[in-house]
Structures are given as C-alpha cells and as structure tokens.
C-alpha cells in the first residue's frame, strides 16, 4: 500500500492522480525489456548460433591439435599441458573483457575476437612446432574467452526473465552438440595437411555472419562496475561456484572416464563409450532442467542438483558391480544432472545482475569455470589413483562441499519478496 500511495502523488492538470511506474531496480522484467531491444528472438538466435558454430570449430581444432602432437611423438603429459595455456589465458583476460566491450562496443569486440581466432588457426597451420603452438594456444584461448563472455552476456541480457532458464538450457545444449560434432568433421577432412585447419577457419568465418547481421542489437555496456571477483563470489556464492564445480567435474569426467574404465577391467573402446554416455546426458537434460528452473527457486534447484549429483556419484560404482547396463543408464542420468549446474547457475546469476555488472559477473563465472577445468582433473585424479572407484568418490566429496555451501545459503537467507534488491543469491 505504501508503494501505491507514493505512485499516486503526482497529478495531472485536472488534479487527477497519475500513477508512476516503479523504479527499474524494483522491476527486473521491465529492465530486461529495455535491454533486449528490437527483435529479441532474432538476437537470441544469432547469439546462440554464433557460439554454437564456434563450439564446433573449437572442438575440431582441439581434437586436431591433440592428434598432431600425438603423431609427433609427444607424451600425454605434454599434450595435456598444451591446452592449459588456453585456460591460463582465460584467467588472465576474462576480467578485462567488460572494460574492453565498454570502450569498443560488444559487436566490434566480437569481430576482433573472431578475427584473432581465425589468425590463430592459420598460425597453427603455418608453425607446426610444440612451443609455437603453446604460445598460439594462449592467444587462441584469449579470443575464445572474449567470445564466450560476450555471447553469454548477450544471451543472459536479452532472455526474458520468465524464460531465462529454458533459453540458457537451449544455449548449453547447442554448445554441447557443437562440441560433439566438431571431431566428426575430421573423419571427412582427415588430420593431415591444411584441409582440417581450413575447415576450422571456415566455421569461424560462418560464426561471424550472425554477428554481422544482428550484432548491432547486442546490449551495450555503458558504465564500469567496481565489483571484484571476490565480491561476486561473496554476493552470489551459489550461482558463481556452480561454474567452478561444473568445470572441475565435467572436464575430469571427460578426461578420466576412459582411465576409470581401464582401472575397472573394461576395454579402451568402452572407456570412449562412457564419455559419450556422459555427454549424451548433458545434451538431453539441459532444456528440461532449464524449463524447471523457470518455475522454481533456482537456488533450491541447485541444492537439489548438488544432492542428486552426490548421490549418483556414490551409486555409480555400486551400479557397475550390478551390471553394465544399469551403470550406463545411471551415467546418462547423472551426466545430465551434474551438467545442468552450468546453465542453472548462469540463469541464477542473470536474475541478479544487469548491464555492466552482468558482464563482469559473467566474466567471473567463466574464470571460475576455467579454474575448475584446470584443477579438476589432477585433484579428482588422485582419487582414481587410490582406488578404482575413487573418481566418483572424489566427485561425491566435491559435490558435498557445494551442497554444504548451498544448504547454508538457503538456510540463512530470508527472501524479501517486497524488495528484489534484498534477495540473496
């Protein structure tokens, strides 16, 4: 009633009260409408298409470089160190992306990132040397970081609040499908010569088309945020830490499931199948879980995802003792559950921040995901070295820590429905 009375204080020339709209901070949906601009569906399609095509080119190039290094006789450790340069580049540049976008514009910076990625791929082809590739990987990783930070900022800004979860689920599904499709192109181009590099370059050129067509509709960053990485984590731990745990678990599962298969007496081909089953669940579950997140409290949903993921990790070794089919079915479901951490956490973040703060929060999100990708495999690999079931037991322990943080946040936070600015995340 107090808000209504204040809104009726202004009067027109006849003396009749004139209602006024609430401040945008009290009306997130109104703010999102302003940000979205004209033709939001076209803008969303363009942003998702760009990053999905980039995903195809990225996965193709990563598989190609690994094969080339293996054929050159480099050890698995050396091959694994090479992509780490990209992860370190992400940590170095992500925090500066919102500032660069504010100065240059989102569309211009996207074009620069795409051109840098194309030049990097050409440099890979021209300088086939391990140490040269290590440096080029850093440049390539920086360009990809810019592409992902700005694309996710664009999608999160334009997505209507009541459909944000579903749209981000669609985005992660498209990206996962792109990652899966990339290596299959090598069956056509082969891994020798220039052809596979030219295929990757062509994909990045195609990715520039949606940016050229509707990139002008991308939201602009007009001010600079003063919130630090630590500030975002402290203000929204449930949302931001979802990226950290997702990065660690997803990368470790993709890299260590083949090793888990060998430690448990399975063939190498079965290990590759386990990776495919995990990825399949990731693709299947994103949109349904995204739709669910639009209809419930996302913080509580992340709590349930953490609990289900922990329980699934504990049950998977037992399922393998029962039979492979049960293990495979549970692996698909479990992969879908833990794979939902990223999209739901990102939607949760988008519900709190707008404008420059959203761009900076998204940069923090990707940085934390990269930290997880770098730290996850070696940390979780320790568990696998200790016992054949150690991979899933270590993941269960990791998810238990996230579950503890989420439970604490849910238990100590009191939502004030009358003032969204007081809501904790």
Domains and CATH numbers, the chain: 39-217 (1.20.1250.20), 229-422 (1.20.1250.20)
User: CB–CB of 207/53 below 8 Å?
Assistant: yes
Rounded Cα gap, residues 153 and 362, in angstroms = 6
Of the segments 320-329, 359-368, 411-420, which one has the largest average pLDDT value? 320-329
> What confidence category does residue 324 fall into, taking pLDDT thresholds of 50, 70 and 90?
very high
Q: Where are the alpha helices (DSSP H) in 190-236?
A: 195-214, 229-235
pLDDT score at 77: 66
Q: DSSP letter at 52?
A: H
User: Which whole number is the average pLDDT over 5-22?
Assistant: 43
Rounded Cα gap, residues 63 and 99, in angstroms = 32
User: CB–CB of 44/36 below 8 Å?
Assistant: no
User: Which whole number is the average pLDDT over 278-291?
Assistant: 90
pTM for the structure as a whole: 0.77
Cα dist. 80→83, 87, 255, 368 in Å?
Answer: 6, 12, 10, 20
pLDDT tens readout for residues 350-382:
888 888 888 888 889 999 988 888 888 888 888
pLDDT score at 399: 96
pLDDT tens readout for residues 43-61:
888 888 888 888 888 778 8
The total number of residues shown for the chain amounts to: 425
The residues near 154 (Cβ < 8 Å, ≥ 6 apart) are 43, 47, 106, 218, 219
State the DSSP H helix or E strand holding residue 390, giving kind and residue range, or none if neither. Answer: helix 390-412
pLDDT score at 152: 87
User: Which whole number is the average pLDDT over 378-407?
Assistant: 90
The residues near 106 (Cβ < 8 Å, ≥ 6 apart) are 150, 153, 154, 215, 218, 219, 220, 221
Cα dist. 366→144, 152, 228, 269, 414 in Å?
Answer: 11, 10, 14, 32, 28
Q: Extract the tokens encoding 40.
A: 């939001």
Of residues 37 and 127, more confidently modeled:
127
The residues near 195 (Cβ < 8 Å, ≥ 6 apart) are 189
pLDDT score at 177: 82
Closest C-alpha among 111, 112, 144 to residue 212: 111
Rounded Cα gap, residues 279 and 275, in angstroms = 6
The owner of tokens 């808000």 is 3
- The rounded percent of the chain whose pLDDT value lies above 70 is 86
Distance from the Cα of residue 398 to its chain's centroid: 19
pLDDT score at 139: 93
pLDDT score at 394: 93
User: CB–CB of 57/203 below 8 Å?
Assistant: yes
For residue 11, the SS3 value is strand
Closest C-alpha among 196, 217, 177 to residue 38: 217
pLDDT score at 335: 93
Of the segments 5-9, 104-108, 417-421, which one has the largest average pLDDT value? 104-108
pLDDT score at 423: 45
pLDDT score at 244: 94
pLDDT tens readout for residues 199-231:
889 988 998 888 888 777 777 776 667 777 788
Q: 187 pLDDT exceeds 70?
A: yes
For residue 418, the SS3 value is coil
User: CB–CB of 66/80 below 8 Å?
Assistant: no
Of residues 37 and 139, more confidently modeled:
139
Q: 22 pLDDT exceeds 50?
A: no
Average per-residue pLDDT for the chain:
81
Q: DSSP letter at 191?
A: S
pLDDT tens readout for residues 86-99:
888 888 888 888 88
User: Which whole number is the average pLDDT over 246-265?
Assistant: 85
Closest C-alpha among 297, 355, 417 to residue 31: 355
User: Which whole number is the average pLDDT over 56-73?
Assistant: 81
pLDDT score at 413: 62
- Beta bridge pairs of residue 17: 11
Q: 27 pLDDT exceeds 60?
A: no
pLDDT score at 276: 82
Distance from the Cα of residue 268 to its chain's centroid: 29
* 159-173, 295-309, 314-328, 401-415, range with the lowest pLDDT: 401-415
pLDDT score at 15: 52
Query: Within 13 A of 164's CA, how many CA atoms are on the CB side?
Result: 29
């Amino acid at each position: 009633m107090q808000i209504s009375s204040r809104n009726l204080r202004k009067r027109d020339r006849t003396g009749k009260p004139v209602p006024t709209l609430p401040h945008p901070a009290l009306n997130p949906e109104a703010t999102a409408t302003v940000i979205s601009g004209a033709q939001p569906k076209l803008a969303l399609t363009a942003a998702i298409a760009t990053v999905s095509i980039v995903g195809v080119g990225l996965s193709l190039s990563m598989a190609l470089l690994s094969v080339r290094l293996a054929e050159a006789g480099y050890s698995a450790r050396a091959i694994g160190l090479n992509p780490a340069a990209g992860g370190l580049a992400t940590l170095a540049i992500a925090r500066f992306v919102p500032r660069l976008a504010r100065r240059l514009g989102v569309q211009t910076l996207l074009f620069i990132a795409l051109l840098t990625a194309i030049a990097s791929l050409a440099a890979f082809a021209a300088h086939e040397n391990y140490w040269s590739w290590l440096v080029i990987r850093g440049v390539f990783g920086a360009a990809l970081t810019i592409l992902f930070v700005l694309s996710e900022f664009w999608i999160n800004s334009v997505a209507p609040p009541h459909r944000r979860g579903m749209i981000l689920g669609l985005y992660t599904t498209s990206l996962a499908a792109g990652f899966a499709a990339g290596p299959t192109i090598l069956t056509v181009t082969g891994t020798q010569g220039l052809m596979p590099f030219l295929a990757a370059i062509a994909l990045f050129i195609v990715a520039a088309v949606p940016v050229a067509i509707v990139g002008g509709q991308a939201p602009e960053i007009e001010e600079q945020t003063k919130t630090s990485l630590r500030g975002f984590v402290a203000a929204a731990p449930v949302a931001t830490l979802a990226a950290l745990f997702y990065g660690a678990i997803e990368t470790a599962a993709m890299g260590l499931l083949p090793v888990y298969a060998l430690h448990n007496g399975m063939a190498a081909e079965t290990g590759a199948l386990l990776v495919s089953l995990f990825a399949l669940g990731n693709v299947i579950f994103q949109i349904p879980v995204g739709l669910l997140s639009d209809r419930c409290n996302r913080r509580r949903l992340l709590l349930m995802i953490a609990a289900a993921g922990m329980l699934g990790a504990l049950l998977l070794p037992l399922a393998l003792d029962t039979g492979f089919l049960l293990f495979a079915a549970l692996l698909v479901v479990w992969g879908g559950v833990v794979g939902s951490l990223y999209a739901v956490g990102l939607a949760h973040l988008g519900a709190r921040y707008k404008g420059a703060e959203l761009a900076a929060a998204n940069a923090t999100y990707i940085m934390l995901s990269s930290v997880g990708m770098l730290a996850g495999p070696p940390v979780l690999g320790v568990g696998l070295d200790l016992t054949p079931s150690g991979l899933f037991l270590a993941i269960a322990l990791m998810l238990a820590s996230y579950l503890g943080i989420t439970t604490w946040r849910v238990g100590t936070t009191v939502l004030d429905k009358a003032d969204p600015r007081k809501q904790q995340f």
